Amino acid sequence: MARSVYGALYQLKASDFYFSRTIFSMLLFCHTLVGAFLPLFLLSGNWVSAKNINFYNVRPPLDPTPFPNSFKCFTCDNAVDNYNCNRWAEDRWCPESTQYCLTVHLFTDHGKSTSVTKKCATGDECHFVGCHHHRESGHTECVSCCEGMICNVEIPTNHTNAVFAVLHARRTSGGSRRTVSIAVLVSVMAIALS
């Protein structure tokens, strides 16, 4: 049986492998198309997947912290929207003189972002949280502050989420229990319901 298979292979002629000029041209054309469009397809796949970045899945850094209670914030200056701010934010530690992450969101009456600024901030800078409508430009500016590692993922859009959210109450002489503030609970509820 093995001889008959090998015998059949030996009986093939060169003319059996002959391609017409048309078939050869079509194969060459298809190969060229694949070579031209494959890189574009791969690049577009990376661009599309970049739109699906989950900023909530950011892990705390493993590198040593520069000082106790160090933290990081998303940082950007006048980004066109929240996505571009978070996507291109610098990954650096906040200065020791700061305690919070501040976000300033400027948007139109229709809710379209015109400017997003995020930075590390002091407590004094966080006294101006809330939303303010600018009649002359028709824009609304919402400011929020939060405490914690990369806590400023979202942007404030109304009085419900333009808040000063802290992780725990400041210690007083009366006690040292850590409690979750109402602002954090309101923020979490607002995000969960939206």
Domain ranges of the chain: 17-54, 69-171+178-193
Q: Which stretch of DSSP H or E encloses residue 182?
A: helix 182-193
What per-residue confidence (pLDDT) applies to 184?
58
The domain made up of 69-171+178-193 has a fold known as: CD59 (2.10.60)
pTM for the whole structure: 0.59
Q: How far apart are CA 122 and CA 86, in angstroms?
A: 21
pLDDT in 10s for each residue of the chain, 194 residues: 555 555 555 555 555 555 566 666 666 676 676 666 555 555 555 444 455 666 666 665 566 788 888 999 999 999 999 999 999 998 889 999 999 999 999 999 999 999 999 999 999 999 999 999 999 999 999 999 999 999 999 999 999 999 999 987 655 444 444 444 555 555 655 565 65
**Alpha-carbon distances of 121 from 42, 59, 101, 145, rounded to whole Å:** 40, 21, 6, 8
Let me know the angle formed at the C-alpha of 143 by 154 and 111, rounded to the nearest 5 degrees: 65
Residues 6+ apart with CB under 8 A from 180: 167, 168
**Alpha-carbon distances of 34 from 42, 45, 49, 77, rounded to whole Å:** 12, 16, 22, 42
Q: How far apart are CA 182 and CA 194, in angstroms?
A: 18
CA dihedral 41, 42, 46, 49 (to 10 degrees): 60
